[in-house]
A and B are shown apart, each in its own frame.
Chain A
């Protein structure tokens, strides 16, 4: 579809161009949302939050808070009747009748200082009728569980989400393919396992921050750390009952997102409070503690797998049941349930498969998108079962994967066919790099070594018609400005945007700038910076915009030179003719056009290219079978392998080596692709070894870095390798597809498989802390 080949190959695509934002960020010059200055008009907001996981609100008394000097506004749910949510509108901005998690916002205060706002919050008195909570998704899905959203059946919902009214199940995604019951009889081995993956946090360095101002006419401006300025414009405008054109979102650099700054979360609180103090900006900055329990968390998962194969190792059947701990509101999480359902085979061809993926309301923190969008959680168990199945029939685990993995043309779990994929090459590369089949001696007598490997697949999970747009504008000196609505959240997409614009237009990378910050008033539309979709989707829009600009330029020049545009090209910022060898630099011509001979006027004019992209081919899936023509736009596939060492005296795991191999279609910037693979590995490793939100009666016990440990540089393996496989995507720019999330998907099972290889124990879920590993070894009689 989009193959913008220049005739002369001096393209910056495929080159390791330096990051466009490196200097700003390294020198500290980059502006983040908390850096913005609003002068003395600024008010500070703090939020009164529910101390109960589940309760009815009987009374909210804000009179004392209102009376505190310095307080300018106090708002409650009474003031904001509109629902909000991305795929399922199940949430009020402030609670109105019921609280559903510890931290649920009940009231908000704007005051002249953060401390006064804090004091005012303490003065708000709320009377609750405490209700029994739901603290486990399996229980939550049962008929015995108290109902958390009695109005579920009435909520506005996307047409591919299936809530079950009268229950706590906000989405039930089903796969019914082949005949599982008949297949079990043909299996030589069947593995049945249960895994639990705990909630974790994204822990960006920069906490959520939003500043909102509502002017006298009701127009809203929101400055925030955001992955989704356009989705915020749309959803907040809808909830507040105003036109999208009256809502403006400005999004400076983001200090880490990983999904938690997608959709809408605390931003709506700042807007709602600001609406009561017109003309004054109101700033809400989450504390680190609030970041842990009130921002989106990665949902917990209880997963059941039953997987069988024949004696030759051919996968015959799978029966999977996923209970997603969606938390208090599942407006975003419902689609994680769906994504894990339509990917529930893992990257394998399985003729018979039955899956039930349930999104369940609980009284836990709100689940939302996190790097991998359900795939790390699902693969954590699935890829261990694959290892166990291979062992059960006496086959090498890599050979087993070779035989069963998706190849080009394989039939997928949803019934369609796999597009060209380099998954088999990824397996070979990862196995070779880790030295599969060869075991080194441990570094000390009290240590044991092991190796493990795991595969993954993941598609962008989004509505079928998530769109992108871009513009390309040229200045007097021929330099190029690219307008995008996607966000650089550290992944480097602005750099890639500039590379693609430069290549598609025919100018040097160095003369391209990205028009930032993203501002919904001036930037072109982008659905959200999620789903690893920008390089592919926004990339296509950029290419289309650059092509549009290019056509405008070539038309002007071809008319002036009286040549065919087909004989012209733009190379290195200069229009050249292959036929006449004439040339003219872009500068000046792209603003002023070109004079006609003998003072007879001018042609051309300022060049602005526009482009957009939206997939038009994704079909719906049958609600009962999950079968359909094309469930998703594409799948990125890959493999990871690890070598680790376990200390028998402490249970402590040292990851010695990590290897990643992913098929990215085409690496627009190979170093950035490798950085994603390395970063994803380390984050995956961190979730495998350390991370867990410890929930007790709905309360997060470790809402700070003191007791929520994440991997630091010294925990990362010294030997971290990344391999790029390139089997092009038919509709990707230069064949590219996404890589941002995928690199943390197979890390948990790769490590789990290596633990088994080292000491012969399997744990029921991450994190594989030293304590868990040690006690499991004791309980298994491996050590005393």
Chain B
């Protein structure tokens, strides 16, 4: 069935609270018909499509700290919820310490959209196709969530509950994303397979991160997170374990890629078939892990030569 989309945005009331307390209070009082929003790149589209019909849109971008991006060399990076993706990409700290996140952001939509879209918004939207979710999970991201009760911290790995579903409760506002300092020597890759080169949603997305770990039998640990092949971003645990347990070789990378492909449960939809997606998880996981492995080795050599 064709949905009779609104010709323009349906009417709504725009609320711009000045304090977190005011915002949380409003959202609690109007639980059924109020929604917080950041860039609006998902909310507006869904309102026009008639999927969402909030009476109030609560603009939380002006709340204290929401526009801040702050790096602490001792602990890590804090990205305010309202920091748009172009700012994340441009920030020197992201580029130096979390280049994987910058790469993931760069793959989202277009430059124009990235001037509105935010990483925290991408997370709260909780689409399995969300391009930045993998990087944030790989870096063990933690969401700072505010409510009238105060601030709670939620590990991203606990946050996603299904397409569009998270642990965020009514009256809560995701205020910032915290990414702990990456492990020394980390190297990452995000491979996005879209139907064409620019601005597509990911048919399959593969985030891979690796770093040396003397505690692991192989001497390395890897993170492998898959987009668009399960109801939530999928952490391919068996694949990660496989490469920690045995020496990293082309064969063990293939084995890890196979495990990743087995772990995922993609669906057939208008963008692609489950059969193709499963195969792509295998091929692109292998490609991503190989690329990370090459970077790790190159990095090692560089370190030696520069020492």
Task: Please tell me the size bucket of the interface on B.
Answer: 20 to 34
Query: Is B284 a contact partner of A650 (Cβ separation < 8 A)?
Result: yes
**Nearest CB of chain A from residue B5's CB, rounded to whole Å:** 5
- B238-264 contact mask (Cβ, 8 Å, vs A): 1 or 0: 000000000000000000000000000
Could you say which of B3, B201, B276, B284 contacts A771, with CB atoms under 8 Å apart? B276
**Nearest CB of chain A from residue B273's CB, rounded to whole Å:** 7
Query: Is B10 a contact partner of A115 (Cβ separation < 8 A)?
Result: yes
**Nearest CB of chain A from residue B223's CB, rounded to whole Å:** 21
Distance between Cα atoms of A714 and B203 in the complex (Å): 18
Indicate whether A115 sits within 8 Å of B280 (C-beta atoms), given known contacts A709-B196, A711-B196, A770-B195. no
**Nearest CB of chain B from residue A258's CB, rounded to whole Å:** 19
Indicate whether A122 sits within 8 Å of B283 (C-beta atoms), given known contacts A711-B196, A712-B198, A770-B195. no
Query: Is A303 positioned at the interface, with any CB of B under 8 Å from its CB?
Result: no
Query: Is A287 a contact partner of B287 (Cβ separation < 8 A)?
Result: no
List residues of B (104-139) whose CB comes within 8 Å of A's CBs.
none
List residues of B (175-203) whose CB comes within 8 Å of A's CBs.
193, 195-201, 203
Could you say which of B2, B195, B272 contacts A102, with CB atoms under 8 Å apart? B2
Distance between Cα atoms of A115 and B8 in the complex (Å): 7
Query: Is A689 positioned at the interface, with any CB of B under 8 Å from its CB?
Result: yes
Indicate whether A115 sits within 8 Å of B11 (C-beta atoms), given known contacts A709-B195, A715-B197, A771-B272. yes
Q: Within 8 Å CB of B273, what residues of A?
A: 771, 775
Q: Within 8 Å CB of A603, what residues of B?
A: none
**Nearest CB of chain B from residue A8's CB, rounded to whole Å:** 50
Query: Is A46 a contact partner of B7 (Cβ separation < 8 A)?
Result: yes
Query: Is B6 positioned at the interface, with any CB of A under 8 Å from its CB?
Result: yes
Query: Is B1 positioned at the interface, with any CB of A under 8 Å from its CB?
Result: yes
Query: Is B193 a contact partner of A650 (Cβ separation < 8 A)?
Result: yes
Query: Is A702 positioned at the interface, with any CB of B under 8 Å from its CB?
Result: yes
Query: Is B271 positioned at the interface, with any CB of A under 8 Å from its CB?
Result: yes
**Nearest CB of chain A from residue B224's CB, rounded to whole Å:** 17
Query: Is B74 positioned at the interface, with any CB of A under 8 Å from its CB?
Result: no
Distance between Cα atoms of A122 and B280 in the complex (Å): 43
Q: Within 8 Å CB of A285, what residues of B?
A: 7
**Nearest CB of chain A from residue B41's CB, rounded to whole Å:** 12
- B272-300 contact mask (Cβ, 8 Å, vs A): 1 or 0: 11011001100110010000000000000
**Nearest CB of chain B from residue A687's CB, rounded to whole Å:** 12
Distance between Cα atoms of A709 and B284 in the complex (Å): 22
Query: Is A118 a contact partner of B195 (Cβ separation < 8 A)?
Result: no
Query: Is A690 a contact partner of B196 (Cβ separation < 8 A)?
Result: yes
Query: Is A774 positioned at the interface, with any CB of B under 8 Å from its CB?
Result: yes
Query: Is A694 positioned at the interface, with any CB of B under 8 Å from its CB?
Result: yes
Q: Within 8 Å CB of B158, what residues of A?
A: none
Indicate whether A287 sits within 8 Å of B5 (C-beta atoms), given known contacts A709-B200, A712-B197. yes
Q: Within 8 Å CB of A122, what residues of B?
A: 4
Query: Is A712 a contact partner of B2 (Cβ separation < 8 A)?
Result: no
Distance between Cα atoms of A285 and B8 in the complex (Å): 11
Query: Is A151 positioned at the interface, with any CB of B under 8 Å from its CB?
Result: no
Query: Is A649 a contact partner of B197 (Cβ separation < 8 A)?
Result: no
Q: Within 8 Å CB of A118, what residues of B?
A: 4, 6-7
Indicate whether A115 sits within 8 Å of B7 (C-beta atoms), given known contacts A51-B1, A701-B270, A775-B276. yes
Q: Within 8 Å CB of B8, what residues of A?
A: 114-115
Chain A, Cβ-Cβ closest to B8? A114
Q: Within 8 Å CB of A707, what residues of B?
A: 270-271
Q: Within 8 Å CB of B10, what residues of A?
A: 115
Q: Within 8 Å CB of A771, what residues of B?
A: 203, 272-273, 276
Distance between Cα atoms of A690 and B201 in the complex (Å): 14
Chain A, Cβ-Cβ closest to B10? A115
List residues of A (62-113) whose CB comes within 8 Å of B's CBs.
102-103
List residues of A (752-784) whose CB comes within 8 Å of B's CBs.
769-771, 774-775, 778
Q: Within 8 Å CB of B193, what residues of A?
A: 650, 652, 770
Query: Is A49 positioned at the interface, with any CB of B under 8 Å from its CB?
Result: yes
Distance between Cα atoms of A694 and B271 in the complex (Å): 10
Distance between Cα atoms of A702 and B2 in the complex (Å): 10
Q: Within 8 Å CB of B5, what residues of A?
A: 287, 289
Query: Is A121 positioned at the interface, with any CB of B under 8 Å from its CB?
Result: yes
Q: Within 8 Å CB of B3, what residues of A?
A: 289
Query: Is A700 positioned at the interface, with any CB of B under 8 Å from its CB?
Result: yes
- A194-208 contact mask (Cβ, 8 Å, vs B): 1 or 0: 000000000000000
Number of A-B contacts (CB under 8 A): 78
Query: Is A775 a contact partner of B1 (Cβ separation < 8 A)?
Result: no
Distance between Cα atoms of A775 and B272 in the complex (Å): 11
- What total of chain A residues lie within 8 Å of the partner, measured CB to CB? 41
Q: Within 8 Å CB of B275, what residues of A?
A: 775
**Nearest CB of chain A from residue B61's CB, rounded to whole Å:** 25
Chain B, Cβ-Cβ closest to A294? B2
Q: Within 8 Å CB of A694, what residues of B?
A: 270
Tell me which of B5, B7, B271, B284 has the highest count of chain A C-beta atoms within 10 A of its own C-beta.
Answer: B7
Chain B, Cβ-Cβ closest to A290? B5
Chain A, Cβ-Cβ closest to B280? A650
Distance between Cα atoms of A520 and B10 in the complex (Å): 37
Query: Is B287 a contact partner of A715 (Cβ separation < 8 A)?
Result: no
Query: Is B7 a contact partner of A649 (Cβ separation < 8 A)?
Result: no
Distance between Cα atoms of A114 and B5 in the complex (Å): 12
Chain A, Cβ-Cβ closest to B193? A650
Chain B, Cβ-Cβ closest to A700? B2
Q: Within 8 Å CB of B272, what residues of A?
A: 771
Distance between Cα atoms of A699 and B4 in the complex (Å): 13
Tell me which of A51, A103, A287 has the highest count of chain B C-beta atoms within 10 A of its own C-beta.
Answer: A287
Query: Is A103 a contact partner of B280 (Cβ separation < 8 A)?
Result: no
Q: Within 8 Å CB of A706, what residues of B?
A: 201
Query: Is A471 positioned at the interface, with any CB of B under 8 Å from its CB?
Result: no
Query: Is A774 a contact partner of B196 (Cβ separation < 8 A)?
Result: no
Query: Is B280 a contact partner of A715 (Cβ separation < 8 A)?
Result: no
Indicate whether A714 sits within 8 Å of B198 (C-beta atoms), given known contacts A287-B7, A650-B283. yes
Query: Is B280 a contact partner of A114 (Cβ separation < 8 A)?
Result: no
- B1-43 contact mask (Cβ, 8 Å, vs A): 1 or 0: 1111111101100000000000000000000000000000000
Q: Within 8 Å CB of A699, what residues of B?
A: 1-2
Could you say which of A49, A701, A712 contacts B199, with CB atoms under 8 Å apart? A712
Q: Within 8 Å CB of B2, what residues of A?
A: 49, 51, 102-103, 289, 293, 699-700, 703
Q: Within 8 Å CB of A703, what residues of B?
A: 2
Query: Is B7 a contact partner of A712 (Cβ separation < 8 A)?
Result: no
Indicate whether A49 sits within 8 Å of B4 (C-beta atoms), given known contacts A702-B270, A706-B201. yes
Q: Within 8 Å CB of A710, what residues of B?
A: 196
Chain A, Cβ-Cβ closest to B277? A771
Could you say which of B198, B271, B276, B283 contacts A715, with CB atoms under 8 Å apart? B198
Q: Within 8 Å CB of A649, what residues of B?
A: 283-284, 287
**Nearest CB of chain A from residue B106's CB, rounded to whole Å:** 13
Q: Within 8 Å CB of B4, what residues of A?
A: 49, 118, 121-122
**Nearest CB of chain B from residue A211's CB, rounded to whole Å:** 15
Indicate whether A114 sits within 8 Å of B283 (C-beta atoms), given known contacts A699-B1, A771-B273. no
**Nearest CB of chain B from residue A100's CB, rounded to whole Å:** 15
**Nearest CB of chain B from residue A64's CB, rounded to whole Å:** 16
Distance between Cα atoms of A99 and B203 in the complex (Å): 36
With A49-B2, A289-B3, A699-B2 already in contact, 16 other A-B pairs whose C-beta atoms are closer than 8 Å: A115-B7, A118-B6, A118-B7, A122-B4, A285-B7, A690-B196, A702-B270, A707-B271, A709-B195, A710-B196, A712-B198, A714-B198, A715-B196, A769-B195, A771-B272, A775-B276
Which residues from chain A sit less than 8 Å from chain B, CB to CB?
Answer: 44, 46, 49, 51, 102-103, 114-115, 117-118, 121-122, 285, 287, 289, 293, 649-650, 652, 689-690, 694, 699-703, 706-707, 709-712, 714-715, 769-771, 774-775, 778
30 contacts between A and B (CB under 8 A): A44-B7, A46-B7, A49-B2, A102-B1, A102-B2, A103-B2, A114-B7, A115-B10, A115-B11, A122-B4, A285-B7, A287-B5, A293-B2, A649-B284, A650-B280, A650-B284, A689-B196, A699-B2, A709-B196, A710-B196, A712-B197, A714-B197, A715-B197, A715-B198, A770-B193, A771-B203, A771-B273, A774-B276, A775-B273, A775-B276
Which 4 pairs show the lowest CB-CB distances between chains A and B? Answer: A114-B7, A649-B283, A771-B276, A709-B195
